[in-house]
Amino acid sequence: MAKGLDIGTMNIICAENEGEDVVFTQERNAFLELDSSDLTNMMLDSAKVLYIEKDDKISVLGEDAFNFATIFGKETRRPMRFGIISPKEKDAIPMIKLIVDRVLGDPGYQNEALCISSPADPIDLDMNTLYHKKMTEALTKKMSYDTKVIDEGLAVVYSELADSNFTGLGISIGAGLTNVTLAYMATPVLSFSIGRGGDWIDEQVSNATGLPKDHACVTKEKGFKLGSEVEIGGPEGALTIYYDALMTYVIQNLNKKLAEITPPNVKFPVAVAGGSSNPPGFIKMFEKKLKEANLQIDISNINIATDPLYSVARGCLIAARTQEGEEMGRNKNADDILQEIEEIGEGEE
């Protein structure tokens, strides 16, 4: 078998086949430090909460860290920032390792095929993604996986654009970055990221309203709808303003990068994914802005992924199964693998 792994700023998600299903395992990529006590340890063990103990402190990891932060009005610590391992977080790598261990699990056999996502280099931040790619690749190889790395935007193309022969524009609006890949016949023509995503929205809303960032994030993920009537001065109103600003910024930078290349003379479908594209009304608002932008490529249609949060992991699974088929001498390409996944994924969990 094979696995796909989306190592995102907000979530780490594994996609794999289990019998006739494609299943996803997910954890928040976050941790929260609490004071240690025998009673706290006992309660955490009883609830099967993922945590580690160091000195007199407990670090709760994953979804439970986010829940604790919301309850106690604290902010979680994040091993990643702007889509890559955070250089300002000294515990980043061991925390990511623990979360990946839980989500990914041991390989079913030595050198099981694994494809992991990585952001492309951002065009508006003074940083590159090489260290992050090499560290996450090394981490999973140490677990005895045969690991390959692909850009996050290309994973969206693999996941969502089979009907167009993997030709189109894949956009992943994640927490730390927004990734964009223009592909022709599964080959990237243009790939880049920009330093704004869901975290940027949360930070701006927090600054504007005085609410904690995690509170802004919870509001965004639970019940918020773009295009609906919102209270002026409330978090929903601020979210609407900054979602509009993010979309405008993404499209402006896309047009700048398109001006630097000569793309094939075809119509490109657009697939949008990523957890930050989840709010109802997002794709309608984004489609309107794209059509008004006078892009330097022809667009055929614009769609949001069937499940935006899991699209990148699913694309990585398709890439890993293609890799696995090639290494085992099978004449299978991405189309064949995708068809298999769709056939067995009707009961997808």
Q: Give the tens place of pLDDT for each residue, 132-141.
A: 999 999 999 9
Q: Determine the Cα–Cα distance for residues 259 and 257; give it in Å rounded to an integer.
A: 5
- For 233-289, what is each residue's pLDDT tens digit? 778 889 999 999 999 999 999 999 999 999 899 999 999 999 899 999 999 999 999
> Residue 220's closest CA among 301, 282, 158?
282
Of the pLDDT bands very low, low, confident and very high (cuts 50, 70, 90), residue 332 is low
Say what the pLDDT of residue 70 is. Answer: 73
Residue 16 has a pLDDT of 94
Q: What are the residue ranges spanned by the domains of the chain?
A: 30-77, 172-308
Is residue 337 scored above 60 in pLDDT?
Answer: no
Non-local CB neighbours of 151 within 8 Å, separated by 6+ positions: 117, 118, 119, 120, 179, 181, 188, 191
d(CA 138, CA 263): 34
Of 33-42, 191-200, 306-315, 327-336, the poorest mean pLDDT is in 327-336
Beta strand segments in the chain, E: 2-7, 11-18, 21-28, 31-35, 51-54, 57-61, 80-81, 84-85, 112-118, 145-151, 168-173, 178-184, 187-194, 267-273, 298-304
* Average pLDDT taken over every residue of the chain: 87
CB 60 within 8 A of CB 45: no
CB 31 within 8 A of CB 102: no
What percent of the chain clears pLDDT 70, i.e. is strictly above it? Answer: 92
- Whether the pLDDT of residue 348 is over 50: the answer is no
Of the listed ranges 41-45, 133-137, 292-296, 316-320, the one predicted with least confidence: 41-45
Is the sign of the CA dihedral 323, 327, 328, 333 positive or negative?
positive
- In percent, how much of the chain has pLDDT > 90? 53
Predicted TM-score (pTM) above 0.75: yes
Number of H helices, E strands in the chain: 11, 15
At residue 57, does pLDDT exceed 60? yes
d(CA 270, CA 168) in angstroms, rounded, equals: 6
Centre a 10 Å sphere on the Cβ of residue 164 and count the other Cβ atoms it contains: 18
- Is the dihedral angle over the CA atoms 160, 164, 166, 167 positive or is it negative? negative
Residue 324 structure tokens: 């696995």
| Fold topology of 172-308 | Nucleotidyltransferase; domain 5 (3.30.420)
Tens of pLDDT, residues 32-48:
887 777 776 777 777 67
